[in-house]
A and B are shown apart, each in its own frame.
Chain A
Amino acid sequence: MGLFDRVFRGSAEMYQKAEEELAKVIAELGEDAQMQMPDTAYFLSCIYAYLGKKVTKLSELRDALAEIKGKMTTNYRTTDVFSSGIGTAMAAEVIEATKYARTPTPYEGTVYHGHFSDAEVRELGVPLVTQDIPGFVVVIGPAPSTEEAVNLIKGYQTRGIFVFLIGGVIDQAVEAGLSMGFPVRVVPVGQEIWSVGHIISLVERAAMIFGAVQPGDWEAFNEYSMARIFAFVNAYKPVADIVVACGGGAIAMGFPVITNDTDDMWRVPKSLIIQEDTEDFIETSLEARDIKIKITNIDIPVAFSTAFEGEIIRKADMRVDINGARFDCFEWVRSQEAKDIEDHQIIVDGPDIADIEPGGSMSLGVIVDVAGKNMQPDFEPVFERKFHNFLNCIEGVMHTGQRDMIRIRISNTAFEAGFSIRHIGEVLYAKVKSEYDTVVDKCQVTLVTDKAKLKELRAEANKTYDKRDLRLRAMTDENVEVFYNCILCQSFSPAHVCIVTPERLGLCGAVSWLDAKATNELDPNGPCQVVTKKRVIDERVGAFEDVNEAVQKYSHGALQQVTLYSILEDPMTSCGCFECICGIEPISNGVSIVNREHTGVTPLGMTFSEMASMTGGGVQTPGFMGHGKHFIASKKFLKAEGGVARIVWMPKALKETVRERLNESAKELYGIDDFCDRIADEDSVTDDPEALLAFLTEKEHPVLAMEPLL
Chain B
Amino acid sequence: MALKGLDIFKLTPKTNCKDCGNPTCMAFAMKVAQGAVALDKCPHMSDDVKAQLGDATAPPMKKIEVGSGDDKFTLGGETVLFRHDKTFVSKNLYAVAVCENGIDEKLPEILKVDYDRLGERMYVEFLYVMYRGDAAKFAETVQKAAAEGRGIILEVTDEEAAKAALAVAGDRVILSGANASNYAAFSKLATDAKAVLGVSGASLDELYDTVTALEKLGNKNLILDVAGETVKETFANAVQIRRAALKDNDRTFGYPSLVNLHKVAHGDAHLQTALAALFTLKYGSIIVMDGVSYAQALPLYGLRQNIYTDPQKPMKVEPGIYTLNGADENSVCVTTVDFALTYFVVSGELERSGVPLNLLISDAGGYSVLTAWAAGKLSANSIAKFFKEQEIESKIKSRTLVIPGKVAVLKGEIEEKLPGWTVVVAPNEAVELVKFFKEFVKA
Interface residues of A (CB under 8 A from B): 306-312, 392, 398, 492, 494-495, 558, 568, 576-577, 583-587, 596-597, 601, 603-606, 610, 613-614, 616-617, 619-624, 687, 689-690, 710
Q: Are B311 and A312 in contact (CB under 8 A)?
A: no
Residues of A within 8 A of B33 (CB): 614
Closest 6 pairs between A and B when the two form their complex, measured CB to CB: A312-B412, A605-B23, A310-B411, A605-B24, A605-B27, A307-B425
Residues of A within 8 A of B52 (CB): none
Given A310-B410, A311-B411, A494-B84, verify A710-B23 contact (CB < 8 Å).
Answer: no
Residues of B within 8 A of A620 (CB): 4
Which of B5, B374, B376, B415 gathers the greatest number of chain A CB atoms within 10 Å? B5
Contact residue among A311, A610, A617, A619 (Cβ-Cβ distance under 8 Å from B27): A610
The distance from the CB of A578 to the nearest CB of chain B, in whole angstroms, is 11
Residues of A within 8 A of B85 (CB): 495, 558
Contact residue among B4, B374, B411, B425 (Cβ-Cβ distance under 8 Å from A621): B4
Contact residue among B5, B26, B416 (Cβ-Cβ distance under 8 Å from A312): B416
Given A494-B84, A577-B374, A710-B6, verify A309-B26 contact (CB < 8 Å).
Answer: no
Taken residue by residue from 1 to 41, chain B's Cβ proximity to chain A (1 for < 8 Å, 0 otherwise) reads as 00011100110001010000011111100100110000000
Question: How many Å lie between the Cα of A312 and that of B408 in the bound state?
Answer: 11
Q: Are B34 and A614 in contact (CB under 8 A)?
A: yes
Given A577-B375, A606-B30, A614-B5, verify A310-B413 contact (CB < 8 Å).
Answer: yes
Contact residue among A398, A495, A584, A687 (Cβ-Cβ distance under 8 Å from B84): A495
Question: How many Å lie between the Cα of A513 and that of B337 in the bound state?
Answer: 33
The distance from the CB of B5 to the nearest CB of chain A, in whole angstroms, is 7
The distance from the CB of A441 to the nearest CB of chain B, in whole angstroms, is 31
Question: How many Å lie between the Cα of A617 and that of B85 in the bound state?
Answer: 9
Asked if B371 is an interface residue, CB under 8 A from chain A, the answer is yes
Q: Are A311 and B9 in contact (CB under 8 A)?
A: no
The distance from the CB of A396 to the nearest CB of chain B, in whole angstroms, is 12
Q: Are A587 and B16 in contact (CB under 8 A)?
A: yes
The distance from the CB of B122 to the nearest CB of chain A, in whole angstroms, is 27
Residues of A within 8 A of B84 (CB): 494-495
Residues of A within 8 A of B340 (CB): none
The distance from the CB of A271 to the nearest CB of chain B, in whole angstroms, is 46
Which of B405, B408, B411 gathers the greatest number of chain A CB atoms within 10 Å? B408
Q: Are A689 and B24 in contact (CB under 8 A)?
A: yes
Q: Are A604 and B6 in contact (CB under 8 A)?
A: no
Taken residue by residue from 402 to 422, chain B's Cβ proximity to chain A (1 for < 8 Å, 0 otherwise) reads as 000101111111111000000
B residues 27-78 touching A (CB-CB < 8 Å): 27, 30, 33-34
Some 22 contacts from A to B, beta carbons below 8 A apart, are: A310-B409, A312-B411, A392-B409, A494-B84, A495-B85, A568-B6, A584-B6, A584-B26, A586-B26, A587-B14, A587-B16, A596-B376, A597-B376, A604-B24, A605-B16, A606-B26, A606-B30, A614-B5, A619-B86, A621-B5, A689-B24, A710-B9
Residues of A within 8 A of B414 (CB): 310
Residues of A within 8 A of B413 (CB): 310, 312
Which of B9, B24, B411, B425 gathers the greatest number of chain A CB atoms within 10 Å? B24
Asked if B428 is an interface residue, CB under 8 A from chain A, the answer is yes
Asked if B394 is an interface residue, CB under 8 A from chain A, the answer is no
Given A306-B428, A577-B374, A614-B34, verify A586-B9 contact (CB < 8 Å).
Answer: yes
Asked if B181 is an interface residue, CB under 8 A from chain A, the answer is no
Q: Are A601 and B407 in contact (CB under 8 A)?
A: no
Q: Are A583 and B412 in contact (CB under 8 A)?
A: no
> Which residue of chain B has its CB nearest to the CB of A601?
B23
Q: Are B312 and A310 in contact (CB under 8 A)?
A: no
The distance from the CB of A595 to the nearest CB of chain B, in whole angstroms, is 11
Beyond the given A606-B30, A617-B311, could you list 11 further A-B residue pairs with CB under 8 A, ordered by the A residue number? A306-B428, A311-B411, A312-B415, A495-B84, A558-B85, A586-B26, A606-B26, A613-B312, A623-B5, A623-B9, A690-B16
> Which residue of chain A has its CB nearest to the CB of B30?
A614
> Which residue of chain A has its CB nearest to the CB of B403?
A310
The distance from the CB of A695 to the nearest CB of chain B, in whole angstroms, is 16
Q: Are A309 and B408 in contact (CB under 8 A)?
A: yes
Taken residue by residue from 289 to 327, chain B's Cβ proximity to chain A (1 for < 8 Å, 0 otherwise) reads as 000000000000000000000011000000000000000
B residues 75-96 touching A (CB-CB < 8 Å): 84-86
> Which residue of chain B has its CB nearest to the CB of A614?
B30
Residues of A within 8 A of B10 (CB): 710
Residues of B within 8 A of A306 (CB): 405, 408, 428
Residues of B within 8 A of A494 (CB): 84, 311
Residues of A within 8 A of B408 (CB): 306-310
Question: How many Å lie between the Cα of A560 and that of B9 in the bound state?
Answer: 24
Residues of B within 8 A of A605 (CB): 16, 22-24, 26-27
Question: How many Å lie between the Cα of A10 and that of B162 in the bound state?
Answer: 104
Residues of A within 8 A of B416 (CB): 312
Residues of A within 8 A of B6 (CB): 568, 584, 621-623, 710
Question: How many Å lie between the Cα of A415 and that of B338 in the bound state?
Answer: 40
Question: How many Å lie between the Cα of A690 and that of B30 in the bound state?
Answer: 20
Residues of A within 8 A of B34 (CB): 613-614
Residues of A within 8 A of B371 (CB): 492, 577
Question: How many Å lie between the Cα of A619 and that of B425 in the bound state?
Answer: 38
The distance from the CB of A511 to the nearest CB of chain B, in whole angstroms, is 13
Q: Are A576 and B405 in contact (CB under 8 A)?
A: no
